[in-house]
Structure 1
């Protein structure tokens, strides 16, 4: 295998026209330069230099290796520049998985802050069925998740915020005039289920259990606008997370609940080894700043 350092020494000899000139430019002795060239000739299996008056000139093999040494030097310089840009957050690429109700109120403003600071970083956004697995298997760099029922080895959860649930009632409902409701006030109401079974539905069921009842679901929905539409039509009441109420139906009212107030915990999931990507830590900082606001 050819030694790259010796190739650079050969390049210096070819550029200087003599072993003595290369030794002076590199700070070596002429004897050390000659030894390195001889070792490179042994690796190449061909002579690399020939006498030319008081100096030397490259053979065809010597010119070939000197030209490649120049290419390697340029590539190393480019690699160092790109690595410095990556460390500084001037370049890079991040893949983020998120869920819909966290997109507009949380992720979008965080990305606006991040892009203002790091305009050269490319961001790819995805909604997937198993974001924790995507992070664990390096298909995504970060995922926004609600506290999962199970953990993945090698994945770290960073708490961003607690998103409280609000009661959504038809306009004109008997409880609509109250600013805050006890959760037990809704015990006998028909319910619209706006969450699929999973970590977003669990806080609702746990809250209702703590208030002494189990909600009677009469309609199932898989998105918040549709849920609001069913509520507006008078088919029942619902609990929806605050972040999911950015687009409010005109024929519903939204009220705080207490005793208890259910909430879902939203986290950023990253690999334990994410410290190897400084720019990812800066995105996480932008998410934390947005969550605090």
Structure 2
């Protein structure tokens, strides 16, 4: 196998025109350079240099290796520059998994900030469906996943959770509903109402059911909905009342009213799940910082 350092030394000899000149330029002794060239010729299995007057010139094989040595040198320099940019956070790649309602309200402003501060960082975004994104984070296929989980939830091996936001729920009522005139509702005010389910089974629905349980009732879901916009449409049609998180109310239906809820106030906790325990690469750390700022009112 050819030694890359000896190839670079061959390049210096060919460029300098002699072993003596190359040795002088590099701070070596001529005998040391000659020994390295002899070893490189044994590795190559062919003569690389031939005498020319007081100096040397490359054979065809020597010229070939010299050209490759120059190419390798450029590639190594490029690699060193790329590594320096990566270490400094000027470049990099972050793979992000997120759910729909945090896309516009939380992730978009964070990415805009990240792009402004680190334009060389590439972000790979993918919307999560029903699949749990935590295995992707644990196995290194994703750098961060935005998830909803209970406060103080169970430990997940290989994953660290960074709290971003407590997303409170609001009551959504049809205009003209008997409770629409109240500015703030007790959750128990909705106990006898038919409900439009705004969440699929999982941590978001669990937050609603837990709050309703604390208020002394279980909601009677008359209609199930796949998303918050559809749920509001069902509410507007008079099919029931619903709870929708603030991040899902960026543009609410004109035929509904939105009211605060208390005793208790339902809330879902949003976290950034990252591979633990760290330290985080600069690109990921920059995104987490931007997410925290986007989540701050």
- Number of positions where the alignment pairs a residue of Structure 1 with one of Structure 2: 293
Q: RMSD over aligned Cα, in angstroms?
A: 1.7
Which among 149, 161, 171 is matched to residue 165 of structure 2?
161
Which among 185, 188, 191 is matched to residue 184 of structure 1?
188
Task: State the shift of 1:135 in Å.
Answer: 2.3
Q: Tell me, in whole angstroms, the C-alpha distance in 1 between the residues paired with 2:154 and 2:134.
A: 10
Length-normalised TM-score, structure 2: 0.93
In structure 1, the residue matched to 2:221 is 217
Q: Tell me, in whole angstroms, the C-alpha distance in 2 between the residues paired with 1:3 and 1:277.
A: 33
Report Cα offsets for 1:236-289 as digits up to 9, x if no partner: 111111101111011111111111111111011122276463111111111111
* C-alpha contact (below 8 Å) 2:232/2:256 kept by paired residues: yes
Q: Tell me, in whole angstroms, the C-alpha distance in 1 between the residues paired with 2:83 and 2:277.
A: 18
Task: State the shift of 1:78 in Å.
Answer: 0.8
In structure 1, the residue matched to 2:28 is 28
Which among 138, 142, 160 is matched to residue 140 of structure 2?
138
Q: Tell me, in whole angstroms, the C-alpha distance in 1 between the residues paired with 2:98 and 2:280.
A: 22
**Which blocks of at least 5 consecutive residues in structure 1 are unaligned?**
none
Q: Tell me, in whole angstroms, the C-alpha distance in 1 between the residues paired with 2:128 and 2:139.
A: 13
- Cα separation, partners in 2 of 1:75 and 1:242, compared to 1, 3 Å: same
In structure 2, the residue matched to 1:91 is 91
Task: State the shift of 1:122 in Å.
Answer: 2.5
Task: State the shift of 1:151 in Å.
Answer: 5.8
Q: Tell me, in whole angstroms, the C-alpha distance in 2 between the residues paired with 1:292 and 1:42.
A: 67
**Residue aligned with 1:62, SS:** helix
Length-normalised TM-score, structure 1: 0.95
